Structure 1
Amino acid sequence: MSSLAAALAQRLGAEHVATDAEACALATADLFDWPGAAPAEMVIRPGSTEETATALRLLAEFGRPIVPRGAGLSYTAGVVPQAPAVVVDTGRMAGIKVDAPNLTAVVGAGATWQALAAALAPHGLRAAQASPISGSVSTIGGTVAQNLPGGMDGILGLAVVLADGNAVRTGALALRNAPPFWRHMGPDLTGLFLGDCGAFGVKTEVALRLAPEREAAFGSFAFETGAAMMAAMVGIAQANVVTRAFAMDPVRSRSAMKVEAVEALRTAGAVAARAGSVYRAMRDVAGLARTARGAQAEAAWSLHLTADGVTEAAAEAGIEAARRIALGAGGREVPPSIPKALRARPYSIRGLVGPEGERWVPVHGMLPLGQARACLAALEARYAALAPALAEAGVTISHIISSLGAYVTIEPMFYWRDRLDALHLNNLSDSNRARFGDFPANPAARDLVRGAREVLSGIMDQHGAVHAQIGRFYRLGSRMEPGAAQLLHSVKAMLDPRGRMNPGALEGVQGCG
């Protein structure tokens, strides 16, 4: 390993090769605790596709396993190897090239979504690709590798370095002497590398479709039951009248109104800039204040909607159509403070821990519209059975339920008091690090959550769920048709015949797991 480290340092720079225990442990952590996890042997940080290719050729000569890594904010062990490996940290590959006339951008895989949004703002543009709320830290390459509920249609092409060090380009980046503007010319080789959890190669560059910023309108509704809320969400998704819908249960709604409303007050200037009116800004801030005051009294499921339009009237028309559906399902309208706040400040990692610093880990499933209501009912029935054990261990469950299209994502989230790991602490503010950094370990609660996640994932699968960030948690291979599983195995064998690229990712697929 010392000779390999020296050779890599010569090519990448000594400051971009780390072998100390602290860096190696942090580079293979995610947001949950995984028995059998192994620290990295080494962490390297190449600065370009070419440097990545050079490094991976050396690693091939030494026969070392490789784990690609962005920000590491996974909760499915997607970057947690079971045996020592060399971690390729993509954080230095953070360049952003905007081609506004052609509505495209080419970015380094290590660029964050927030950095991209800042680069696009002067052009009045946004990424057409949906992005995670953790985009202040989460990298674009990480999202590409992990996949995202809602699909990856905004990705136009990729640069990927394979296990043998061969750099390949797909889609919009594959054509010679042409601006990267179109993904589909011949077979869709870009799609091959989307959602692969890094099992097929290290993403180094991403071409993205851009879109103009639009006017937005907002609506929020409260429901007495999850069933009524889900009926409204499904009806709104079927009507295709809003851009985004998300819902929270009573527990999550109360904490969100206490935390997110306060955060939103800090972004009133951004809201005012979007509103273009001091009166509207004052009205929005007053609404946020009312929401914060009423947080303790709110005891209903809440559904929050955003509709985009070419004009303000067009956006409002979408919300009006959704309003009729929501009210018809038994909802009552409440101030749309939360969707406005999220529009003004779309990225935050405050949610990496609970409101009082609790550890947090979700489990999710994307459901067909026709199965969403039955799945939520089945989950709620299981919560009742789990309640005594969860209460004894101090574990609570809340939800985020969302839709960006013709599906519903149900995401139960577990919270419990436990020691925070270095990955949490590194991403918290100084004040929250001081508040939450000394909690004692709670392995019993952690084990209980581990088992409960398996149970809930199984229930969602019984209702036809699919999953993003497969990692080493969601069972892909057992749910695939035999021919599909064999094809996936064949692709893995072709791209990585020695099984060195993120071994164990895409859990359950022969040749990948």
Structure 2
Amino acid sequence: MTINSTIPTQVLADLRDIVGNARVMTDPPQLAYYATDISGEADTRPGVIVKPESVDNLARTVALLTRADIAVIARGAGFSYTSGYLATQSPSAIIDTTDLNRIVEINETDRYVTVESGCTWATLYDALKAKGLRTPYFGPLSGLHSTVGGAASNNASFYGAGTYGAMADSVLGVDVVLADGSLVETGAACAEGRTPFFRYFGPDLTGVFLGDCGAFGIKAHVTLRLIPFPAAEDYLSFAFERFEDIAEAHVALARENIVAEQWGIDPQGNENLAARGFKFLEGLSFVREVAAVKNGMGQKMATIARTLIDGHRSVSRGGFALHLVVEGTSAKDVEMKIGQARRILVPLALKELPSTIPQITRAKPFRAIKSLLGHDGDNWLPVHGLFPYSRAAEIVAVTDEYFVRHRDLMKKHDIKVSYLTGAVGSAFLIEPMLFWKDRLNAFHLRHITDDQRRDFAASSPNPTAREAVTTLRRDLVLLWGTFGAAHFQVGKFYPYANSLSSASLAFVKNIKAALDPKNLMNPGALRLGLADKGPTKMKFTEFPQNLLDQP
């Protein structure tokens, strides 16, 4: 790793004058931690970490750093697996936004909420639920730590995404600090005297900054729509024999727009879940949470415990499994949707399973993250693609075949793969997750559980397996590109800039140049400036577009 060039002494002194001494960090252990994410370690460390506690100080910090020609990278909770906030040039500064965590306004009348970018999804959910409200999309699984601003910068999926789409679809406006320290408002609030009640007032300036990975500026505030908190919800789980059947089920459910969340896991995922995250004794601690969701109506504690036991057995023995949550304005509304979902799933599935997993998932949406490692301490690294519904069955076949054809490489390095699938608005989602034995980096060591740290902190480096995983991920993304993939969390990994038409790429570069003329806002994000580094296109003649029709 290259240690970043020293930040000038006067710049450090000026930063401390702005935010205070304790909010400017230059000690090597901190710099090492901020130079890692789930995907690994950067080649270059930042020279300083700054934690502003107000939007005004955020703006002053950005202006100071860019005047000194220091690259500026925003970071929320840090749960990136695409090198999104890892430095690519020196000197660089990381701005940790997690102390910008206030809920600025909950406007119950006009149905919007404005938060600072470092507010966590769990904090927002709890505050809104107390008022009988919710955002349509309401967070990723990592929402106990993950921030609203991070999701706005990367886009995100999970809670509410089946009905309401990705995170960006719930955003009304953002306030963004640009490279010169100025603060730009979008949506209706961009005009004098307006509030952020509506997204579209002239051109959709909000959309420019959503999914930009901080390349165009740093989010200071995010405003989201509000809806009434659902009056009722219910759950279903089904077992499937084939991967393609799960894909067909996802698409059929999504087209009816009746499911708040739906996710599928494969046999390896079921095995991991049973071994790591869904153990009976741990599950018993969730019984009261499940009972609370049911409002104590008609299900005694013993009955819930029996459901938990049955659910654990289905996880231990299951093949492909699909889990879903349905919500509605009344119990009758939910009952109708559950009936519709069953009519879709029964002809495709092997059998219905106890719905314990989606019940527990919704009973307490945001929990401590335990999935940064496999159940036996393996490193975990996902890669995902978004595809049109019409290509869902085809893409699961292509993806599965890709790993079959690399089974010798995977066996040699003891690399395992597990699949997560889902539907997000108008897209089918597939996310292979790779597991292998390797050392833990600074990000792992800070965020894994105490038990995991005790058992696996001394894991040995395995660079050859790590390189094999890197190649598998990269080439799979390039293969998916031939089938029209899109991606969340582009970061510095997914080939966004590489994939654009010449006219579109020129347009994006012009936006970047206008907002950030010195290219100091997260250089390399969206792969802008990195498009000529590494392979961008490969031919995959062994994966014809009509693979499913092959004998």
User: Which category of TM-score, normalised to the shorter sequence, fits these structures?
Assistant: over 0.9
Q: Which AA in structure 2 matches 1:451?
A: T
Say if 2:20 is the partner of 1:4: no
Map 1:64-213 → 2, pairs under 5 A? 64-84=70-90, 85-97=92-104, 98-149=106-157, 150-151=165-166, 152-213=168-229
* Runs of at least 5 residues in structure 1 that lack an aligned partner in the other structure: none
Q: 1:115 to 1:512 in 2, by over 3 A?
A: farther
Look up the match of 1:239: 256
Look up the match of 2:66: 60
- Measured against aligned partners, the alpha-carbon deviations of 1:398-449 in whole angstroms (never above 9, x if no partner) come to 0110113222100000011211112112122323322222211111111110
Contact 1:67 1:88 in 2 (8 A): yes
Say if 2:280 is the partner of 1:272: no
> What CA distance in whole angstroms lies between the structure 2 residues aligned with 1:505 and 1:235?
35
> What CA distance in whole angstroms lies between the structure 2 residues aligned with 1:109 and 1:101?
23
Look up the match of 1:361: 381
Larger CA deviation: 172-181 vs 501-510: 172-181
Q: Which AA in structure 2 matches 1:105?
A: V
* Runs of at least 5 residues in structure 2 that lack an aligned partner in the other structure: 1-7, 158-164, 534-551
* Residue 253 of structure 1, aligned match among 262, 270, 279: 270
Q: 1:87 to 1:432 in 2, by over 3 A?
A: same
Contact 2:422 2:429 in 1 (8 A): yes
> What CA distance in whole angstroms lies between the structure 2 residues aligned with 1:440 and 1:209?
47
Look up the match of 1:18: 25
Contact 1:159 1:173 in 2 (8 A): no
**How far apart are residue 106 of structure 1 and its match?**
1.1
Look up the match of 2:404: 384
Q: Which AA in structure 1 matches 2:278?
A: A
**How far apart are residue 112 of structure 1 and its match?**
0.9
**How far apart are residue 175 of structure 1 and its match?**
4.0
Contact 1:199 1:501 in 2 (8 A): yes
Look up the match of 2:348: 329
SS of 2:141's partner is: coil
Q: 1:172 to 1:29 in 2, by over 3 A?
A: farther
**How far apart are residue 183 of structure 1 and its match?**
1.4
> What CA distance in whole angstroms lies between the structure 2 residues aligned with 1:66 and 1:390?
38
**How far apart are residue 304 of structure 1 and its match?**
0.8
> What CA distance in whole angstroms lies between the structure 1 residues aligned with 2:327 and 2:191?
33
Say if 2:492 is the partner of 1:475: no
> What CA distance in whole angstroms lies between the structure 2 residues aligned with 1:55 and 1:367?
40
Map 1:305-316 → 2, pairs under 5 A? 305-316=324-335
Look up the match of 1:414: 434
Larger CA deviation: 259-268 vs 132-141: 259-268
Q: Which AA in structure 2 matches 1:342?
A: T
> What CA distance in whole angstroms lies between the structure 2 residues aligned with 1:103 and 1:204?
20
SS of 2:371's partner is: helix
- Measured against aligned partners, the alpha-carbon deviations of 1:246-286 in whole angstroms (never above 9, x if no partner) come to 10001102222444434543222222112012642533332
Give the alignment's TM-score, normalised by structure 2.
Answer: 0.89
SS of 1:195's partner is: coil
Give the alignment's TM-score, normalised by structure 1.
Answer: 0.95
> What CA distance in whole angstroms lies between the structure 2 residues aligned with 1:473 and 1:60?
25
Q: 1:446 to 1:490 in 2, by over 3 A?
A: same
Look up the match of 2:161: none
> What CA distance in whole angstroms lies between the structure 2 residues aligned with 1:260 and 1:96?
32
**How far apart are residue 506 of structure 1 and its match?**
0.6
Q: 1:13 to 1:512 in 2, by over 3 A?
A: farther
Say if 2:520 is the partner of 1:504: no
**How far apart are residue 452 of structure 1 and its match?**
0.2
Look up the match of 2:536: none
Contact 1:394 1:417 in 2 (8 A): yes
Larger CA deviation: 229-238 vs 131-140: 229-238
**How far apart are residue 202 of structure 1 and its match?**
1.0
**How far apart are residue 314 of structure 1 and its match?**
1.1
SS of 1:66's partner is: strand
**How far apart are residue 60 of structure 1 and its match?**
2.2
Look up the match of 2:3: none
Say if 2:458 is the partner of 1:438: yes
**How far apart are residue 313 of structure 1 and its match?**
1.8
SS of 2:32's partner is: helix
> What CA distance in whole angstroms lies between the structure 1 residues aligned with 2:313 and 2:340?
29
SS of 1:485's partner is: helix
Larger CA deviation: 257-266 vs 335-344: 257-266
Q: Which AA in structure 2 matches 1:86?
A: A
Q: 1:265 to 1:498 in 2, by over 3 A?
A: same
> What CA distance in whole angstroms lies between the structure 1 residues aligned with 2:528 and 2:194?
40
Larger CA deviation: 395-404 vs 424-433: 424-433
Q: Which AA in structure 2 matches 1:489?
A: K
Contact 2:314 2:354 in 1 (8 A): no
Contact 2:524 2:530 in 1 (8 A): no
- Measured against aligned partners, the alpha-carbon deviations of 1:328-356 in whole angstroms (never above 9, x if no partner) come to 12431111111111111222311122122
Look up the match of 1:47: 53
**How far apart are residue 231 of structure 1 and its match?**
1.6
Cα RMSD (Å): 1.9
Q: Which AA in structure 1 matches 2:250?
A: M
- Measured against aligned partners, the alpha-carbon deviations of 1:188-243 in whole angstroms (never above 9, x if no partner) come to 11111000000001111111112222111111110111012212221121222222
Larger CA deviation: 335-344 vs 268-277: 268-277
**How far apart are residue 495 of structure 1 and its match?**
0.1
Q: 1:508 to 1:53 in 2, by over 3 A?
A: closer
> What CA distance in whole angstroms lies between the structure 2 residues aligned with 1:421 and 1:497?
34
Map 1:285-296 → 2, pairs under 5 A? 285-296=305-316
SS of 2:518's partner is: coil
Percentage identity across aligned positions?
A: 33
> What CA distance in whole angstroms lies between the structure 2 residues aligned with 1:279 and 1:435?
42
